Structure 1
């Protein structure tokens, strides 16, 4: 291998398969690099310079990788946008990111056009030539092939490392861009720094690695782990739309060695019929990393039993991180999210900013020794979430005597009933043991006597019908496993929980209607 960095590796080995799409398309590194270079030249001709930003509304297809490889060698901020948002929400991010260009896939034409109309209505419209369509025509947009046509496929001059600027999910208020200063360094040299995080999980460059991308690339971790894999010379196997059986099929077909998943995906794969699970060979998998949401212990154990000791867990956020738990760590300390990365510090603090004793829950604060960030355009929020250089995203957790961190829940999700702190994640994990429960959310709703009472909302697995008897059976299944004060008082059924593909649950959408007209505890 000719050193690290996608651009360097692709020049040395242009026939290396850099991208495999779920639909079957395979793309050689030399071709991906040529199109990425063309993209840089075309965007520079449009007037983009160092420090400018571009936004894109796209599924997991090769063009997204080409745009990523362009931005990261041209000192640009790369901002993929959640395609589950509405037009005005997309317009907000395009404007807030100060994007000079907006790429939109034809699949999301209606959303892209609604965003453009909103920008124009607010007097924030982009020039027509800065609207680029991908994968088909969109009225008023220039097709990507036409936009790049005639531009050189040679490596651009004056290359400098760019970076991704993702937006927080915006569960409270508007989303904020997590912005880091550009390094000004050579892209190929910076690629080596990107191997540090995968190295914590035992992932090394080259060697025929295949990284399976299971979630949309607009998520920070998906871009981070997939991008690092590409820079290390690993093939990216892209899932366009995640399904449980489709994941197993992709692992077998591509001989995937690494992936990044979320507990909800584990849970749904485990619920596949046994004959389906046995149909696929997953023995190529060496490292399956998970994060983003609490993983019930029985789910983690079942995955370890099925896939072997390849399940790694970490705790981090868009803002940074974090901790890591190897399979061996977790087996020895069930439920832990691990110890701090070598480049991080992690603490649990009380409301006065003092470290809490071992075993006592506190607000978790983290600090990375590299790459400090700010919330773009919101110095107040940046400062409010920090203490002495450490930041928090509001999670509650505690440390054991060996220095391992255990998460309880998000502070905003904690239920206070009769003066007792109750953590929904614990209850959700136990409810997921019932075979009827495909997904679940637990949260507090108003109670005149207790302040809050516990409500559960359940998405059923196939083959189960809603009934009062089933609701009572699911709640009753907690007998002997949870104290009755933690039992949901009521349980409702829902067709689908408002959960992101990265596992993040928009619990506020479920909770807010119950608190309308009340003084919420949050």
Structure 2
């Protein structure tokens, strides 16, 4: 199938009754979805929301959420999906201020979904927004087509309160997506199963792409491995995106649908090679891993490539350049340094520097494949990151975090279905190799350490009682 542009309005014209989004007992066809998106845009214009303004929303993932996303993309608004638990935090509303949000759209009229501090902008329910515009004369858009809408995301918050990342508004109007065969989406494909929150680019991106290409999106609002497999089989899903915790849970439980997926996207955090090999055995050679930031997806790697380059997150996407530097000097293949990216012109504003620091460290091999070791920092913190990388390579480890460079603590998650070799001697040997003292080792069952909504281990949550676990191999 040759790449071609497609969008939900094209699907609504050719197959108006085709299912677009399903979440529990809520279902929209493509005609209903695009009709609501256009009505929401009309209601925003009637309310006086200017072209290009940024909205935020905590509407639960489902048909109404995707209608608002499409309204923003097609009609030239910015949209910041934000988890209700974030707006309920004392500092949560500041994220909306940082993103210049002018209106918060929620599922319940008059108040956001979670109680918390007041938001720094007006709040309105999506139903109230539509009702307020009912009967009012339509407000035509500007003569010139609006620039494409854009999405705003928050960082994952592994070490503290997430930060808003305002992505550059594209200069060209929205035209849909270029449908590519490798993403297994389109009118001739089954649904995309969405098993994660929508508040991050990594989880929303694959679902939104599938929807734009003509696939239905099936939302799993209540997570369990058994329910995941049941939904996938019931709707004959062809694609899915799995965050680190979801992938770990499915591998640990050994749960896969009876009908194989065509593609399993995963990313968001380093995937230990042992866990990935187990996932390949469970789902087949269909894993498609990505690496990126809240600004953009940067690299991708197929299963076949990964088996040739175990541990890699792939090569840069077209138009993106990855540089590994130390002290401002580009490093040769194999040398570890800070990972910087040169974004495509469409992904950065005129005032933005061409090279963006990811905050990660890693190396490129001779073939241009990127390997991510950990977070950048001081030389001592870099040694800690290398130790953390080494721990992930140990047999039976499903995830790991090392905190504290002077007196490190090593938190190790491991599977429970097979004997787990004592990792302490290997961890201590690796620490010595990197010039670190012997760390305190805390073992935990796979998936039991505190996580962010995007599925990463929440490092800040390991500094208190939430991080308590079993010390040593016992």
Sort the TM-score into its range (normalised by shorter chain): 0.7 to 0.9
| Counterpart Cα distance in 2 of 1:231 and 1:480 | 48
Name the structure 1 match of 2:150. Answer: 163
Displacement of 1:323 in angstroms is 1.5
Cα deviation code 1:143-167 (max 9, x no counterpart): 4563464469999786532111223
| Counterpart Cα distance in 1 of 2:97 and 2:49 | 16
Displacement of 1:177 in angstroms is 2.7
Name the structure 1 match of 2:304. Answer: 328
Displacement of 1:500 in angstroms is 1.7
| Counterpart Cα distance in 2 of 1:153 and 1:245 | 47
Asked whether the equivalents of residues 341 and 355 of structure 2 are also in contact (C-alpha less than 8 Å), the reply is yes
1:11 aligned to 2:42?
no
Name the structure 2 match of 1:362. Answer: 337
Cα deviation code 1:383-426 (max 9, x no counterpart): 5xxxxx22122111112222211111111498559x78733133
1:489 aligned to 2:464?
no
The within-5 A match list for 1:303-342 is 303-342=279-318
- Distance 1:484-1:402 versus aligned 2 partners, 3 A rule: closer
Most deviating of 66-75 and 219-228: 219-228
Displacement of 1:260 in angstroms is 1.6
1:281 aligned to 2:258?
yes
Name the structure 1 match of 2:124. Answer: 132
- Distance 1:154-1:254 versus aligned 2 partners, 3 A rule: farther
Cα deviation code 1:267-309 (max 9, x no counterpart): 111111x5xx37x4131x1111111100010111111111111
Name the structure 2 match of 1:508. Answer: 460
Asked whether the equivalents of residues 344 and 369 of structure 1 are also in contact (C-alpha less than 8 Å), the reply is yes
Displacement of 1:491 in angstroms is 2.2
Name the structure 1 match of 2:228. Answer: 247
Displacement of 1:484 in angstroms is 5.0
Asked whether the equivalents of residues 206 and 241 of structure 2 are also in contact (C-alpha less than 8 Å), the reply is yes
Displacement of 1:224 in angstroms is 2.1
SS in 2 for 1:396: strand
User: Where has structure 1 moved over 6 Å in runs of 4 or more?
Assistant: 151-157, 459-463, 492-495
Name the structure 2 match of 1:271. Answer: 252
Displacement of 1:214 in angstroms is 1.6
SS in 2 for 1:394: strand
1:176 aligned to 2:176?
no
| Counterpart Cα distance in 2 of 1:51 and 1:18 | 26
Q: Aligned-residue CA RMSD in angstroms?
A: 3.7
SS in 2 for 1:309: coil
| Counterpart Cα distance in 2 of 1:145 and 1:172 | 37
| Counterpart Cα distance in 2 of 1:288 and 1:55 | 29
The within-5 A match list for 1:187-198 is 187=174, 190-191=175-176, 194-195=177-178
Aligned residues: 454
Name the structure 1 match of 2:238. Answer: 257
Aligned partner (choices 405, 408, 420) of residue 373 of structure 2: 408
Name the structure 1 match of 2:422. Answer: 476
**Could you say which structure has the greater relative contact order, defined with CA pairs below 8 angstroms and 6 or more residues apart?**
2
- Distance 1:37-1:430 versus aligned 2 partners, 3 A rule: same
Displacement of 1:334 in angstroms is 0.9
Name the structure 1 match of 2:403. Answer: 443
1:430 aligned to 2:385?
no
Cα deviation code 1:37-83 (max 9, x no counterpart): 21111111100121111110122121101111111121100111122
Displacement of 1:428 in angstroms is 4.1
Cα deviation code 1:163-196 (max 9, x no counterpart): 11223345467613322134242x3xx21xx33x
Gapped regions of structure 2 (runs ≥ 5):
433-437, 466-474
Cα deviation code 1:366-395 (max 9, x no counterpart): 1222423369xxx8xx65xxxxx2212211
| Counterpart Cα distance in 2 of 1:459 and 1:407 | 19
Asked whether the equivalents of residues 415 and 423 of structure 1 are also in contact (C-alpha less than 8 Å), the reply is no
SS in 2 for 1:453: coil
- Distance 1:422-1:255 versus aligned 2 partners, 3 A rule: same
Name the structure 2 match of 1:211. Answer: 192
Displacement of 1:497 in angstroms is 3.1
| Counterpart Cα distance in 2 of 1:307 and 1:313 | 14
Displacement of 1:95 in angstroms is 2.7
Q: TM-score, normalised by structure 1?
A: 0.76
| Counterpart Cα distance in 2 of 1:28 and 1:421 | 47
Asked whether the equivalents of residues 271 and 399 of structure 2 are also in contact (C-alpha less than 8 Å), the reply is no
- Distance 1:357-1:208 versus aligned 2 partners, 3 A rule: closer
Displacement of 1:24 in angstroms is 3.9
SS in 2 for 1:402: coil
The within-5 A match list for 1:78-93 is 78-85=79-86, 86-93=88-95
Q: TM-score, normalised by structure 2?
A: 0.84
Most deviating of 487-496 and 307-316: 487-496
| Counterpart Cα distance in 2 of 1:213 and 1:154 | 35
SS in 1 for 2:75: coil
| Counterpart Cα distance in 2 of 1:51 and 1:107 | 24
| Counterpart Cα distance in 1 of 2:343 and 2:191 | 28
Asked whether the equivalents of residues 107 and 113 of structure 2 are also in contact (C-alpha less than 8 Å), the reply is no
